[in-house]
């Protein structure tokens, strides 16, 4: 029994929680209120899918609420009771990231993962999704589905429901396989007959003898080649040693030639250099110049100091003149008291002060001119001293360069001595090497190697030719053995396939008989169940029983009249009788195919019912069905079916035009 369902972000359900009990639980509401999506949620929680999702009419992201606000995830939690235990299944869909699942028993975690959760549910309920969707879950407007299927197609649909169609598919596949095997036998028989005419399989032994002879010859040639190879390697090693000695001589000669070139170049360079002065005289001149430079540096420093003093003197005189001129200007403009002595300033006194300061200005200007002349003199002397220093530095540089050249020539003379000594040593080493070099031995080895190379090439050609013949014989043998093997395999396969065809024909017959037997047993079980429940569902005397019969290769649902005649439900029964018959068939399917579950899900079952049929269906669901089914879920928009409630009654409301989520309103419960 399902005890509760909780939905979050599922289609139009923002946050819905519902409890359920035994008996008939009814969900009522207008189209689009979210009734069917709640049943889809129950199926999804239990088995990870539901009809629209299985048929790919919806994607996982379509299940998550999109309006009025786009949610990131959807969650469904279903609790159900088996025996004395409460199981809770929770599945979560995260947008763009797939699903998560878990199952708990009495609030303790059993397992996680979508596949393992589904496996646990199927094990506990003893029902798979296929069986649940075929036997328990009546899709929207599907109560009288059996009668709406056209005649001639019911057996096919029923076989699919019972999964008996697998036997028909297997039988069809077996027939196709038999035909293919017959064709294969024909083809292989033709090939075997052609081989018997064309191929000489006795030739195999002769080819094996030829191959053995060629392999022996191949072995002898390889041994001979190995001996020649060893001798050749020995000669090559001796020749290599002689060549190494030659290379050593050539290397020594190369070194000697390089050294001779260096000696020649160095001799020419020394001979071309003319020493005009001795190093001692040059060193003496260098010291004299350095002494003069030192004196010149001192003189230059003294002149620069004098220049600084004279320049400072010039600046002081200039400041003094500017100060006197400023005072004269002040005296000319001032009136009243003297700015210097603070006495009454008369015109006579003013003139006297101005004359005195003007006289001092003349004296300072004369002194300034003399100072400027002195600065120019010092600048001239500084230039002369600097020019003298530069000339002396150039003379010193020339002397130093001459000293370096003389020293370089002396070093080159020493190096020339070393080169000539090294040249003599190389000449001696070359002479010794030439004495130990055996040219006749080298020529003898070279002649022997030519002979060995010829033998080696000859053996190699023979070996290659023999290898080619050997490979040809092996290919012929392999081809003939493969044909012989195929010949024998084909003969064996033909016999096996002939036996297998007989077995397959027996299997095909057994499949057909099994299919017929299963249909018969199913019909028998359904009829026994319907016969038992009919008197509870239909208490009147005009139709005393119900059955499912096979007529003309198809199923027919029939009622037995009080007189004993069996008549088809179609075209004869009223709306109420038709509804009761379809309900009896649906209950029988549920009890026969899922006997351990005793659930029934009816989604909008009043599609083809008149007012009387709806009222009668409500009465049956309320008063009769609990004898056989423990829990019924009824989805409807028809308020007349409120009378069917024995469990919970919910009304689902939703303003679609405003994209509002579903509102679940509890109308009544078993306590009420």
Q: Tokens representing 136?
A: 């328990």
Domain 1-126+596-672 is found in CATH 3.40.50.300:
yes
> What's the confidence (pLDDT) of residue 592?
85
Half-sphere exposure of 304 (CA within 13 A, CB side): 9
Torsion from C-alpha of 592, 575, 621, 124, nearest 10 degrees = 30
Domain 273-436 is found in CATH 1.10.1060.10:
no
Question: Residue 575 is inside which H or E element, if any?
Answer: helix 575-593
Q: Are strands 23-29 and 631-636 parallel, antiparallel or unpaired?
A: parallel
- Contact (Cβ atoms closer than 8 angstroms) between residue 515 and residue 168: yes
Nearest C-alpha neighbor of 114 from the set 158, 53, 197? 53
> What's the confidence (pLDDT) of residue 438?
65
Query: Whole-angstrom Cα distance, residue 321 to residue 225?
Result: 121
- Contact (Cβ atoms closer than 8 angstroms) between residue 51 and residue 133: yes
> What's the confidence (pLDDT) of residue 133?
81
> What's the confidence (pLDDT) of residue 43?
94
pLDDT along the chain (672 residues), means of 10: 95 94 93 89 95 89 89 96 94 93 96 96 91 73 63 75 75 86 87 76 79 86 85 80 80 86 80 64 84 89 90 90 86 67 72 85 88 90 90 86 77 82 85 73 78 83 86 83 82 87 86 84 88 82 88 86 87 71 84 84 78 81 86 90 93 86 93 80
Edge-first strand order for the sheet with 631-636 is 137-138, 599-603, 631-636, 23-29, 649-653, 663-668
What is the distance between the terminal CA atoms of the chain, rounded to a whole angstrom? 20
Torsion from C-alpha of 323, 327, 332, 338, nearest 10 degrees = 180
> What's the confidence (pLDDT) of residue 92?
97
Cis link prior to 507 (omega < 30° from 0)?
Answer: no
Which residues in the chain are classed under CATH 3.40.50.300? Answer: 1-126+596-672
Query: Whole-angstrom Cα distance, residue 124 to residue 120?
Result: 6
Q: Tokens representing 450?
A: 């030519």
Query: Whole-angstrom Cα distance, residue 514 to residue 520?
Result: 10
Query: Whole-angstrom Cα distance, residue 590 to residue 624?
Result: 16
Nearest C-alpha neighbor of 43 from the set 13, 5, 82, 69? 5
b/e per residue, 396-430, with b = 16+ CB within 10 A?
Answer: beebeebbeebeeeeebeeebeebeeebeebeeeb
> What's the confidence (pLDDT) of residue 159?
75
Which residue's entry shows tokens 């002369």?
Answer: 384
Is the pTM value of this prediction over 0.85? no
Nearest C-alpha neighbor of 614 from the set 574, 665, 667? 574
> What's the confidence (pLDDT) of residue 272?
65
- According to DSSP, residue 662 is labeled P
b/e per residue, 447-469, with b = 16+ CB within 10 A?
Answer: ebbeebeebbeebeebbeebeee
Which residues in the chain are classed under CATH 1.10.287.510? Answer: 273-436
Q: Tokens representing 202?
A: 């006795």
Phi, psi of 288 (to 5 degrees): -60, -45
- Contact (Cβ atoms closer than 8 angstroms) between residue 624 and residue 654: no
> What's the confidence (pLDDT) of residue 88?
97
- Contact (Cβ atoms closer than 8 angstroms) between residue 80 and residue 2: yes
b/e per residue, 60-80, with b = 16+ CB within 10 A?
Answer: eeebbbeeeeebebbbbbbbb
Phi, psi of 66 (to 5 degrees): -110, -25
Query: Whole-angstrom Cα distance, residue 356 to residue 160?
Result: 142
- Contact (Cβ atoms closer than 8 angstroms) between residue 154 and residue 555: yes
Residue 665's DSSP bridge partners are 651
């Amino acid at each position: 029994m399902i005890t509760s369902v909780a939905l979050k972000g599922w289609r139009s359900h923002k946050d819905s929680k519902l409890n359920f009990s035994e008996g008939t639980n009814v969900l009522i509401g207008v189209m689009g209120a979210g009734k069917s999506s709640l049943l889809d949620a129950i199926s999804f929680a239990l088995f990870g899918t539901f009809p629209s999702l299985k048929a790919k009419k919806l994607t996982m992201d379509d299940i998550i609420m999109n309006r009025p606000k786009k949610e990131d995830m959807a969650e469904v939690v279903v609790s159900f009771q088996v025996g004395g235990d409460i199981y809770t299944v929770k599945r979560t869909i995260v947008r763009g990231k797939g699903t998560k699942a878990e199952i708990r028993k009495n609030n303790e975690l059993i397992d996680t993962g979508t596949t393992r959760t589904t496996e646990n549910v199927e094990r506990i309920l003893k029902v798979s999704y296929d069986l649940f969707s075929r036997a328990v879950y009546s899709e929207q407007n599907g109560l009288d589905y059996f009668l709406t299927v056209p005649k001639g197609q019911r057996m096919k649909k029923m076989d699919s429901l019972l999964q008996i169609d697998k036997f028909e598919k297997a039988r069809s596949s077996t027939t196709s396989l038999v035909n293919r095997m017959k064709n294969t036998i024909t083809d292989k028989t033709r090939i075997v007959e052609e081989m018997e005419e064309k191929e000489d399989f006795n030739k195999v032994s002769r080819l094996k003898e030829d191959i053995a002879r060629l392999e022996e010859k191949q072995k002898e040639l390889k041994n001979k080649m190995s001996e020649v190879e060893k001798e050749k390697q020995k000669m090559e090693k001796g020749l290599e040693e002689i060549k190494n000695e030659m290379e050593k001589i050539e290397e020594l000669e190369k070194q000697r030639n390089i050294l001779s070139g260096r000696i020649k170049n160095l001799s020419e360079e020394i001979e071309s250099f003319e020493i005009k002065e001795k190093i001692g005289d040059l060193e003496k001149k260098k010291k004299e110049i350095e002494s003069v430079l030192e004196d010149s540096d001192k003189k230059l420093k003294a002149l620069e100091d004098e220049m600084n003093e004279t320049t400072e003197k010039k600046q002081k005189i200039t400041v003094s003149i500017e100060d006197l001129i400023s005072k004269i200007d002040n005296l000319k403009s001032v009136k009243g008291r003297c700015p210097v002595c603070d006495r009454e300033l008369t015109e006579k006194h003013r003139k006297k002060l101005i004359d005195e300061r003007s006289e001092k200005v003349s004296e300072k200007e004369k002194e300034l001119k003399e100072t400027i002349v002195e600065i120019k003199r010092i600048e001239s002397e500084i230039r002369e001293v600097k020019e003298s220093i530069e000339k002396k530095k150039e003379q010193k540089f020339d002397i130093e360069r001459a000293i370096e050249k003389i020293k370089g020539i002396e070093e080159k003379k020493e190096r020339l001595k070393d080169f000539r000594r090294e040249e003599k040593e190389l000449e001696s080493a070359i002479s010794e090497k030439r004495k130990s070099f055996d040219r006749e031995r080298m020529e003898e080895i070279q002649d022997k190697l030519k002979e060995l190379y010829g033998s080696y090439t000859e053996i190699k050609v023979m070996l290659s030719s023999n290898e080619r013949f050997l490979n040809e014989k092996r290919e012929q043998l392999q081809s003939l053995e493969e044909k012989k093997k195929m010949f024998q395999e084909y003969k064996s396969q033909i016999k096996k396939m002939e036996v297998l065809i007989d077995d397959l024909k027996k299997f095909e017959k057994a499949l057909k008989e099994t299919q017929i037997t299963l249909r018969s047993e199913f019909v028998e079980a359904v009829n026994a169940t319907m016969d038992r429940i009919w008197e509870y569902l239909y208490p009147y005397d005009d139709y005393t029983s119900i059955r499912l019969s096979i007529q003309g290769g198809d199923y027919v649902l029939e009622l037995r009249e009080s007189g004993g005649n069996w008549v088809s439900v179609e075209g004869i029964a009223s709306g109420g009788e038709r509804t009761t018959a379809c309900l009896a068939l649906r209950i029988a399917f549920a009890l026969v195919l899922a006997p351990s579950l005793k659930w029934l899900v009816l989604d909008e079952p009043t599609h083809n019912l008149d007012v009387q049929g709806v009222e009668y269906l409500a009465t049956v669901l309320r008063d009769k069905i609990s004898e056989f089914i423990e829990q019924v879920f009824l989805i409807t928009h028809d308020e007349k079916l409120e009378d069917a409630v024995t469990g919970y009654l919910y009304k689902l409301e939703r303003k679609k035009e405003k994209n509002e989520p579903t509102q679940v309103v509890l109308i009544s419960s078993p306590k009420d």
